[in-house]
Amino acid sequence: MTPDVLTIEGLSKRFPPSIIALDEANIAVRKGEVHCLLGANGAGKSTFLKLIAGALSPSAGKIQVDGTPVHFRAPAEAARAGISMIYQELDLVPQLTVAENLFLGHPPSRFGFLDKRSRRARAREALARVGASFTPEDRVGSLSIANQQLTAIARSLTREAKVIIMDEPSAALNETELKSVFRVIRELTAQGVAILYVSHRLGELREIGDRVTVLRGGRTIETFDVEGTPDSALVEAILGRDRGFVERRERPPVTGEVVLKVDRLTAANGLDIRDFELRRGEIAGLTGLNGSGRTSFLKALFGADAHEARMSLYGKPYKAKTPRDAIAAGLGLVPESRKTEGLILDAPIYRNATLPAMQGRFLARHGELKAKTVPVLRQLSTKYGSPEQKVIQLSGGNQQKVVLAKWIIKGARLLLLDEPSRGLDIGAKADLYRLVDELAADGAAVIVASSELEELYAACDTIWVFHEGRNIARFDPATTDQDTILKHQILGDHHHD
Amino acid sequence: MTDTVTGVAPARTSGRRVADLLIEYNFIAIFLVVVAIAAILSPNFLTSTNIANLFQQAAVVGVVAVGMTFVILTGNIDLSVGSVVALCGMLVAVLLAGGMPIVPALAITILTGALAGAVIGLITALAEVPSFIVSLAGLVSFRGITYLLTDGVPVSGLPPSFGAISSTMVPVLPGLQVSSMGIIFVVLCIAAGALLRLTVFGESVYATGGNAEAARLSGLPTTRILVLVFTVSGVMSALAGILLTSRLRIGQPTAAQGLELDAIAAVVLGGTSLFGGRGGVLGTFFAVMLLQVLRNIFNLLGLGSFYQMTVTGLIIVAAILLNRFIDIRRGRA
C-alpha cells in the first residue's frame, strides 16, 4: 500500500470565546493520490486548509509530513516542508514575469546576486512539467486564468512540493481549461505528488478524485473511495441526517400583483437569469453555492454592475445604469459587506441612515434628518446612544439595522438583501427576519440572498436555486423539504415546479 | 434579544466631555499655546498692527487651503493650486493692464480657475486615475501657460482701484483694523464651512471621502461630486491669485511656487485626514494661522528663515503624530 505523505489527527481550531471552526479533524493523504475535500458552506474547509498551509495555528492536534511531526508558524514553513497551497484568488503578482513569480521569495542566487540564467532554466523545467504553452518571460497578467493556474502549480513544483492544496480551482475555469488542469494533475500524481483538491462539484470529483473526505460542521465525517460510492451517499454525508427541524414561519399566501419581471438578464461574468418574477408582499430567497451568481444578480438589478437586461418593474420597462436610477425606481440594496459597501463607518448614524433620502435637496437640515431617523431606528428596535453616534461603535446587528433604515427612510418598495444576516448572532438574525416580514406585510417586495438555506427556508415564500450564474430551479418551501433544495444546489439539476 | 448593548455609549460626565472636546479640537488648543508663547517672547506680537499683518499674510495660502480641504476630504489631492494661483494672478493683471474693467476681468479669471479645477476633476473621476498625477500634470502645464501669457515678463500698470480689493482697512474691533484681504479670507472660511456643514453637497463630500463605494450604492452622484470639489479648489485658487496680484500691484508669473505644499500641510495639520471623510475648514483656518504665527514670531525675534523652515517641519510632524496617537487611542488605527 502507498505510504501516507500527510497525516492529520485531532486537528482543532477554536476562535475565542465560543466558535469552534474545526473540531478534531482527521485526514490521511497518500503519496500520488488526488484526495478531494467536500463540504457545504461553513463546514470548516477554509479553516482546515489554512491550518494545513500554516496560515493559521491549530488549537490542538497533530500534523505529520512523511511521518515527521510538524508545527507551522507561517506559510513559508509549510512550503519548506513540502506543503504548497494554491488559493482560489491566485496569489501571483500580475506585473511580474512567470519566472519571477515562480521564484518569488526564494530566487536562485550566486554570491548574493540574482542568478537569472539559472532562474530561467529552472522555470523552463517546471513549466515543462505542467505542459505549459507559455514561456518564463511572459507576464503573468497577460495569461489566461487557466495558464495562471498552471503557473501557480509550477511554482509549487519549484518548491519541491509533496502535497499541493488546490482550493476550488474550477471556480474560474471553463470546461476546456479545466481539462488541461486535470491533465497536469494526473501527470503530477504519476510523479508521486499528492493533490488535496477542494470543490463543491461532485462531477469533478468523479473525474479526478481517488478518495474523498467529507467535512460537516467542523468535523471530518468520513473518507470514501470515489469509485463505488454513489452520489446519494456523499450528499447524505455532506448534509447529515440529524439536522434540526426548522419551523417555517406562518406566511399569508402571496396574492399581490407582479412587481418585478425579468425575462432575461445577462452579464459578462456568465450571469444568465431567465423568467424571474417577484410579487408585491413576496419574500423570495436566493440560494446557491459561492459564485453561483446571487450577488451578481442583485448588483445588476440595482444598477451597480454592467449588464444586459429585458425586464419590467410594475409593468413598465426597467433598466438601471447606475444605483441612482435603481433608487429612483424604488429599489434599495443592503449589500453583502456592510462595512465596505453599506456604511460610512466614521460618520454618525443619522447621516448614514438619511444618505439616500437627502439626495436632490440643497440644504441638509440636520435636525430634520435626525427626526426622520429616530422613529425608524425605534421601529427596527436598534440599540444606540444617540443619532450622532458613529456607526462604527454599534454592534453588527445594529449596524445592519442602520443600513436597512436607509431604505425604509427613502421609502424603497423593492428591497434587495445580500447576505443580510452575515455576522449576526441568533437574536439579531431573528430580529432581522421579523423586520423583513413586516416590510413584506406592508406591501414591499423583498429578495434575500443567503448562503444559509435554513434561514431562507424559514422566512421565504419562494426559494430560487442559483447554479453557475443561472436560476435553475424554483421551490415553494411549504411543499419541499430542505434536502431536495440542497441537492439541487450541489448537483445543479434543472427543475422548475 | 441576545444582542449585546456594547453599542450604547455610557452617560458622559462633564469632565469627560471637556476632554473629548479638547481632543476633537486639539488644533485650537495648540494654536492658543503657540500664541501665548509668542506673546511672552515678543511684546510686539499682540499689537493691532501685527495682528492685522498676520491675517493679511495668511490670506493667500489660507484661501487656497480652504479649497484644498474640499479635495482632501474626498481622499484626493490637488497639486495644481500653486500654478492656478499664478495663472489667475497673471491673467487678471493682463486683462486689467489691457484696459478691461475690473468686474468682467475678475469674472473671467474666476471662471478660468473653475475650468482648470473642473478639468482635473473630470480626468480624475472619469478615467479613474489618481488625482496626484493628474494635478501634477496640471502643476506643470498651468505654470507653462502662465509664462506663455507674457513670455515670462511681469505685468505692471494696474489701476489703483484694483489694489483696494486687498488693502482697504476695515475696522473690526475698537483699535483693530484688518485689511480687506484678511476679511475676505475669514468670510470664505465661513462660507466654505457652511457649505460643508449645512448642505447636501457637503454631506456628499464627506460620504464620498468616507466610503466611495457605500456612497455610490446609496445613490450619490460620486463623479459629479469629485468634479465639483476640484472646481471649488480651482475657484479658491483663482481668488487667491486675484488677492495676490492686488496686493503686489503687479502680475508675477513666478509667484506662488510651492504654495500647494504649504496648503496641503495646513489642511493636514488642521486635522483633515488624507484618506478622506474626516476634518473640516475650522481646522484648516487654525492651522493656517498657526503656521503664520510661527513665521511671524521668528521674524519678530530676528531669527532667519532657516530656523523657520526647520521648526515648521518639526511642528507638522508633531501634530501628525499627535493625531495618529489620538486615532489609535480611539481604536481607529
**Single-letter amino acid, residue A264:** R
First-to-final CA distance of chain A: 49
Q: What is the pLDDT at residue B114?
A: 98
- Whether residues A364 and B332 touch (CB distance < 8 A) is answered with no
* pLDDT higher than 90, residue B176: no
Q: Is residue A228 part of a domain?
A: yes
- Whether residues A406 and B214 touch (CB distance < 8 A) is answered with no
Helix (H, G, I), strand (E, B) or coil at B179: strand
Q: Are residues A273 and A224 in the same domain?
A: no
Q: Are residues A294 and A226 in the same domain?
A: no
Number of domains in chain A: 2
Gap between the Cα atoms of B277 and B264, Å rounded: 16
Residue in A364, A386, A427 closest to B2 by CB: A427
Q: Are residues A222 and A293 in the same domain?
A: no
Boundaries of every domain in chain B = 29-329
Q: What is the pLDDT at residue A17?
A: 64
Q: Are residues A116 and A231 in the same domain?
A: yes
Gap between the Cα atoms of A301 and A286, Å rounded: 14
Q: Are residues A305 and A186 in the same domain?
A: no
Question: At A283, is the pLDDT very low, low, confident or very high (cuts 50, 70, 90)?
Answer: very high
B12 to chain A: closest CA residue = A385
Contacts of A188 (CB under 8 A, 6+ apart): A129, A130, A153, A157, A164, A195
Task: Write out chain A residues lying below 8 Å of B219, CB-based.
Answer: 323-324, 326-328, 355-356, 359
Q: What is the pLDDT at residue A235?
A: 81
Nearest of B131, B26, B13 to residue B77 by alpha carbon: B131
Q: Is residue A251 part of a domain?
A: no
Q: Is residue A246 part of a domain?
A: no
**A147-178 confidence digits (pLDDT tens):** 888 899 899 888 889 999 998 887 767 777 78
Average pLDDT, chain A: 88
Which of B198, B203, B211, B218 should we substitute to test contact with A (largest number of A Cβ atoms within 10 Å)? B218
Question: Considering chain A, what percentage of its residues have pLDDT values greater than 90?
Answer: 50
Gap between the Cα atoms of B200 and A359, Å rounded: 7
Q: Are residues A307 and A394 in the same domain?
A: yes
- Within the 331-360 window of chain A, which residues sit less than 8 Å (CB to CB) from chain B? 333, 335, 340-347, 351, 355-356, 358-360
Q: What is the pLDDT at residue A487?
A: 78
Q: Is residue A248 part of a domain?
A: no
- B29-329: CATH topology: ABC transporter involved in vitamin B12 uptake, BtuC (1.10.3470)
Gap between the Cα atoms of A190 and A169, Å rounded: 20
- Within the 373-402 window of chain A, which residues sit less than 8 Å (CB to CB) from chain B? 381, 383-386, 389, 392-395, 397-398
Mean pLDDT of B261-266: 94
Q: Are residues A207 and A274 in the same domain?
A: no
Task: Write out chain B residues lying below 8 Å of A359, CB-based.
Answer: 200, 204, 218-221
Angle at A293 between CA A291 and CA A295, to 5 degrees: 95
Question: H helices of chain B, where?
Answer: 14-24, 26-41, 48-73, 81-97, 102-127, 131-150, 160-167, 180-198, 200-210, 212-217, 222-248, 259-269, 281-301, 305-329
- Between the alpha carbon of residue A398 and those of residues A237, A403, B6, the distances in Å are 36, 9, 10
Question: At A382, is the pLDDT very low, low, confident or very high (cuts 50, 70, 90)?
Answer: confident
Task: Name the domain boundary from A196, A212, A239.
Answer: A239
- Written as nine digits, the cell of A121 is 532554466
Q: Are residues A72 and A128 in the same domain?
A: yes
Q: Are residues A267 and A221 in the same domain?
A: no
**B119-157 confidence digits (pLDDT tens):** 999 999 999 999 999 999 999 999 999 999 999 999 999
Contacts of A443 (CB under 8 A, 6+ apart): A256, A280, A281, A413
What length does chain B have?
333
The domain that holds A488 is classified in CATH as 3.40.50.300
Please tell me if residue A315 touches chain B, with a CB cutoff of 8 Å: no
Domain limits for position A345: 258-496
- Whether residues B214 and A358 touch (CB distance < 8 A) is answered with no
Q: Is the pTM of this model over 0.80?
A: no
Mean pLDDT of A114-132: 88
- Whether residues A355 and B207 touch (CB distance < 8 A) is answered with yes
Task: Name the domain boundary from A239, A273, A291.
Answer: A239
Phi-psi region of A315 (alpha: psi -120 to 50; beta: other; left: phi over 0): left
Q: Are residues A328 and A430 in the same domain?
A: yes
- Whether residues B214 and A343 touch (CB distance < 8 A) is answered with yes
Residue in B203, B207, B221 closest to A324 by CB: B221
Higher pLDDT, B19 or A186: A186
Higher pLDDT, A86 or A422: A86
Q: Are residues A426 and A484 in the same domain?
A: yes
**Single-letter amino acid, residue A268:** A
Please give the helix or strand (H or E) that residue A367 lies within, else none.
helix A366-379
- Whether residues B218 and A356 touch (CB distance < 8 A) is answered with yes
Q: Are residues A137 and A277 in the same domain?
A: no
* pLDDT higher than 80, residue A418: yes
For chain B, which residues lie within 8 Å of any Cβ of chain A, measuring from their own Cβ? 1-9, 198-204, 206-207, 210-211, 213-221, 277-278, 332
